[in-house]
């Protein structure tokens, strides 16, 4: 395991994240958020495990995460659904992961979330497209684990804008809406009045389309012939949980970093971050998230250093995009330290 590059806020490592987790201080991480390779029927180039061994494999990481997580910290795990091989029957692997993370590792389920990707393609082809006996699977389960009943969390940081209709209702509820008691006996009129938030409380159904096919990361990968990651999640997913569960300067860890979307979001939010991935080529390409487009000669030289692996780790702090990110957050470079492997 070795460090590949670092920025003003974070560091990216190549290798098995179990080694990284074992080297970090106990109770040092505020948020672990990750999307591991899913337990799919077919092997993918990014190294997913078969369903029958997947749960045991992932629980090994869960035990290590529990050790490094602060008492107020959170572990957010994104898992896609799957079918059993050759059958139109759903696998329960993601629910088995949930149960065993709690029973074997000691986590509590703070809350379950569901990420709806409306742009997801119909699959599996056999049951959805050909035989047409199942509908499109467009929801991932996202488990929010904690070590205690009261992990750090603040819904005020993730409020959604009110609709125009709701703004009118909140401004003058008596003239705009005459509610009757619900069948349950709940008087909805008491929900309005003095306790008005600056936005609506979001549900645990998160709808973020994953349709970005022309991002800066992808354009740069194409221009520099870098290996783009085929299974990137949208920035809004880690952004929601980073806003919700952490404060500025907290430490965010992604143990299956891939294209390092989490690191990019953490950087822009003023959070310290650590990223780790087994695939060196994917992590090399992830550095492009901290570059500026169009690419200049200085950045080309930096990327060549990353690709060749000379004089590692590579310092990306003087890349122009880095300077802009820090200017947006009004923070200084080198403002953190942690025990690195």
DSSP letter at 131 equals S
Catalytic residue from among 35, 74, 215, 286:
35
Answer yes or no: are the C-beta atoms of 262 and 275 closer than 8 Å: yes
**Is 36 one of the catalytic residues?**
yes
The first and second tokens of residue 28, run together, are: 């040092």
How many helices and strands, by DSSP H and E, does the chain display?
11, 10
Distance CA 98, CA 92 (A): 10
Catalytic residue from among 17, 30, 36, 277:
36
DSSP letter at 205 equals E
Catalytic residue from among 30, 78, 277, 279:
78
Torsion of CA 102, 106, 112, 118, to 10 degrees: -80
Q: Judging by beta carbons within 10 Å of its beta carbon (0-12, 13-18, 19+), is residue 166 exposed, middle or buried? A: middle
Where is 106: in which H helix or E strand? none
Closest to 244 measured CA to CA, from 289, 201, 290: 201
Measure the CA angle with vertex 330, ends 298 and 244; round to 5°.
105
**Is 122 one of the catalytic residues?**
no
Distance CA 89, CA 80 (A): 15
Half-sphere exposure (Cβ direction) of 128: Cα atoms closer than 13 Å: 13
Q: Is 287 helix (H, G, I), strand (E, B) or coil?
A: helix
Closest to 318 measured CA to CA, from 341, 290, 295: 290
| Phi, then psi, of 288 in degrees rounded to 5 | -65, -20
**Is 78 one of the catalytic residues?**
yes
Distance CA 61, CA 253 (A): 13
Where is 251: in which H helix or E strand? strand 251-254
Active site residues: 35-36, 78
């Amino acid at each position: 395991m070795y460090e590949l590059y670092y920025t003003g806020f974070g560091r990216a490592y190549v290798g098995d994240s179990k080694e990284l987790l074992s080297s970090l201080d106990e109770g040092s991480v505020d948020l672990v958020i990750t999307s591991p390779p899913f337990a799919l029927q077919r092997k993918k180039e990014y190294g997913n495990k078969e369903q029958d061994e997947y749960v045991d494999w992932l629980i090994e990481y869960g035990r290590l995460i529990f050790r490094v997580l602060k008492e107020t910290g959170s572990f957010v795990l994104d898992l896609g659904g799957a079918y059993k091989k050759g059958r139109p029957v759903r696998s329960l692997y993601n629910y088995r992961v949930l149960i065993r993370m709690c029973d074997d590792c000691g986590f509590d389920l703070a809350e379950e979330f569901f990420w709806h990707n409306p742009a997801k393609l119909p699959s599996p082809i056999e049951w959805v497209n050909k035989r047409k006996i199942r509908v499109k699977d467009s929801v991932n389960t996202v488990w929010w684990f904690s070590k205690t009943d009261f992990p750090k969390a603040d819904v005020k940081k993730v409020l959604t804008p009110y609709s125009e209709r709701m703004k009118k209702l909140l401004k003058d509820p008596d003239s705009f809406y005459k509610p009757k008691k619900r069948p349950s006996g709940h008087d909805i009129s008491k929900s309005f009045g003095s306790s008005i938030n600056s936005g609506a409380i979001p549900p645990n159904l998160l709808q973020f389309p994953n349709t970005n096919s022309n991002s800066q990361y992808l354009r740069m990968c194409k221009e520099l012939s870098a290996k783009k990651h085929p299974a990137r999640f949208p920035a809004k997913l880690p952004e929601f949980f980073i806003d919700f569960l952490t404060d500025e300067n907290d430490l965010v860890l992604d143990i299956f970093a891939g294209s390092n979307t989490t690191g990019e979001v953490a950087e822009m939010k003023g959070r310290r971050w650590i990223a780790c991935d087994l695939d060196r080529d994917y992590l090399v390409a992830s550095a492009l998230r901290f570059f500026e487009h169009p690419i200049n000669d200085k950045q080309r030289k930096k990327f060549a250093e990353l690709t060749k692996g000379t004089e590692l780790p590579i310092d990306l702090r003087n890349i122009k995009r880095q300077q802009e990110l820090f200017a947006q957050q009004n923070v200084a470079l080198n403002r953190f330290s942690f025990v690195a492997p």
